[in-house]
Structure 1
Amino acid sequence: MRDDVVPAVRAVYGAQDLSSAPAFGGGFINFGHWEGISLDRPLTAEDRVRSQRDLYRCVLGALDGAGARGVEVGCGLGVGAVLAVEEFGFASVTGLDIHPEQVERARRANAGLLARAPERLGFACGAAERMPFGDGEFDRLYSVEAAQHFRDLAAFVREAARVLRPGGRLAVTSFFVPVGAEDAGGELAARLDSFASGLDVAHPVASLTGALDAVGLSDIRAESIGEHVWPGLDHFLAGIDQPVRWPRNFLPAYRDGLLDYYVVTACRPVDGG
């Protein structure tokens, strides 16, 4: 692993293996999309896995990836990449992750599909800001709850534009600081240990959309889905034993306008178009 990886990222996705934490499940590592899941009752582990899978469905459904060559940036254990192949008909997906231990876990977790159809699924180790791929190698690029770890959003966007072919599309979902609260980083660090430790970065959503515009991508859209993320996540967290309490502060931060959850999409224009 590169020496400049933030220690908190190194720990959480290495020895600590965040995917094994009670707050997650099913091999996914995201906060979930809870629309359609009743919050009027105690939530189950099955609800939690469904929420995480549904967050991928929300992103992948915006990409029209049937027959496409895709890359997932920050793939974790690769379960979302498998979903893209098996449910959304991607011709192939390459999962990229900065942590070599995650890449090895992904290869072990998906050994069956890798053996049956190696042309449809693969994994690579590398940084979002310096992707180990050729120009125009992919038709679709997506990233699910990883951008909050990227140190340089502009560099990620430049790389995303480079590895997408003309006419290609991207979708990024994660939590960002909303417009009008760009100075919320200090307050988020006071409330949420993941920001205080440097694991998460308080990126304004406008920094992402602005970077996409700066590299010439088009049809840029940022849709808030916070209402389908934060209440469900908090309701689930309230029903499980956790070694720490600070994750319950995500919902108040959202309600106070300090943080929100977005799906951001864009296209690389066809050259000369």
Structure 2
Amino acid sequence: MRPMVREAYGPADLSGEPIFAGGFINFGYWRAVDLGLPLGEAERVRSQEDLYRHVLDAAGLRKEPTEPAESRESTEAKGRKGPKVLEVGCGLGMGCAVTLREYGWAAVTGMDIHPQQLRRARDTHADLLRDEPERLRFVQGAAERMPFEDGEFDVIVSVEAAQHFPDLGAFAAETSRVLRPGGRVAAASFFTVDDAPGRPEELARLLETFADGLDIAWPVSVLTEAFTAFGLTDVRVESIGPHVWRGWDLWLGRWWSPETWPRNFLRAYEERVLDYYVVTAVRPE
């Protein structure tokens, strides 16, 4: 584990910061939020949940209507099973909870490299772990060395974690290995728009998290090429920056003035240095 990741998600605990309301740790997908109105915690949580919904939809998961308890018990007795989902970099597990709540019969594994985050996740979701142990578990593991069997999962998602991964090639290799044939991956994060020389230095000048090494200035092409190199197909890239950066910047404005470094995320986007992407791919049958 890289030192800055150990610190940010250990004693510092980013999930407890007010900017990440509700225990999520992402910039948010603000498309459904009216940015012309004052932003409160409810809108912030909605943006973070909506980012998960967008990624889960991109991964091919389908929402199912909630069944009455008695109907659910009857279906369980018949052995109905849904897709097996892995979240890489699950943090506090809030996205895992959204998946369980809204995406039918999915069984979700949340994996994180940081043991302190996993302890928090297990404490936060103690009731779910007790009541539905077949549908939720938390496992320690690295994106580059996943502790799972070949072909174990139908879907892999990763939300705003890939900017921390030191080896996107290894992440792609492990993703290909643990996906079943026909399985899908959807990874969302912020990447440089190209591999032009000097991009890491540009971001280090603008943003403290790139200067101190918490975030890595990966070009989005590194991930797409890695997915292809390790046998995944139908690799697609979607920019969702128009629905991320303005809302994120308005939210940051509650704590930071425009001349402070966190507000430079919007500047980096406007200067075409950084963008927010969802990258999807399929393991062939």
Is 1:168 paired with 2:183? Answer: yes
- In the alignment, the residues of structure 2 paired with residue 38 and residue 238 of structure 1 have an alpha-carbon distance, to the nearest angstrom, of 16
Q: Closer, same or farther in 2 for the Cα pair 1:22/1:241, shift >3 Å?
A: farther
CA distance in 2, matches of 1:130, 1:180: 26
Tell me the amino acid that sits aligned with residue 64 of structure 1: G
Over 6 Å off, 4+ runs: none
Task: Confirm or deny: 8 A CA contact 1:42 1:239 kept in the other structure.
Answer: no
Size of the aligned set, in residue pairs, is 265
Match of 2:233 in 1: 218
Name whichever structure is richer in helix by fraction: 2
1:74 maps to a residue whose letter is: G
**Identity between Structure 1 and Structure 2 (%):** 57
1:62-73 to 2 correspondences below 5 Å? 62-65=58-61, 67-73=82-88
Secondary structure in structure 2 of the residue aligned to 1:16: coil
Cα distance change on mapping 1:181 and 1:47 into 2, 3 Å = farther
Greater mean deviation of Cα atoms: 183-192 or 82-91: 82-91
Taking structure 1 as reference, are residues 90 and 75 closer, same or farther at Cα in structure 2, changes over 3 Å only? farther
Whether the 8 Å CA contact 2:206–2:264 is kept in 1: the answer is: yes
Q: Is the 8 A contact 2:189 2:277 kept in 1?
A: yes
Letter in 1 for 2:113: I
Q: Which runs of 5+ in 1 are unaligned?
A: none
Q: Which residue identity lines up with residue 124 of structure 1 in the other structure?
A: V
Instruction: Please say which of residues 57-66 and 169-178 is displaced more in the overlay.
Output: 57-66
CA distance in 2, matches of 1:50, 1:8: 28
The reply to whether residue 46 of structure 1 matches residue 42 of structure 2 is yes
Q: Which 10-residue stretch deviates more, 221-230 or 84-93?
A: 84-93
3-state SS of 2:18 partner: coil
1:27 Cα deviation from its structure 2 partner: 1.2
TM-score, normalization by structure 1 = 0.94
Among candidates 33, 36, 40, match of residue 32 of structure 2: 36
1:90 CA drift (Å): 4.3
Q: State the TM-score, normalized to the length of structure 2.
A: 0.90
- Indicate conservation of the 8 Å contact 1:65/1:90, yes or no: no
Q: Deviations over 1:6-48 (max 9, x none)?
A: 1111111000110111211111000000002111122111111
Asked whether 1:93 is paired with 2:108, we answer yes
| Higher Rg of the two aligned structures | 2
Give the residue type in structure 1 aligned to 2:279.
V
Determine whether 1:11 maps to 2:26: no
Give the secondary structure class of the aligned counterpart of 1:167: strand
Hey, what does 2:76 align to over in structure 1?
none
1:162 positional shift: 0.3
The alignment partner of 1:61 has SS state of: helix
What displacement does 1:89 show?
1.8
Kindly report the root-mean-square deviation, in angstroms, between the aligned alpha carbons of the 2 structures. Answer: 1.4
The partner residue of 2:162 within 139, 147, 167 is 147
2:251 counterpart of 1:251: no
1:21 to 17, 21, 28: 17
Structure 2 partner of 1:125: 140
Residues 182 and 204, structure 1, Cα contact 8 Å, conserved in 2: no
Query: 1:182, CA displacement in angstroms?
Result: 5.8
What code does the residue aligned with 1:179 have? Answer: D
Residue of structure 2 equivalent to 1:103 = 118
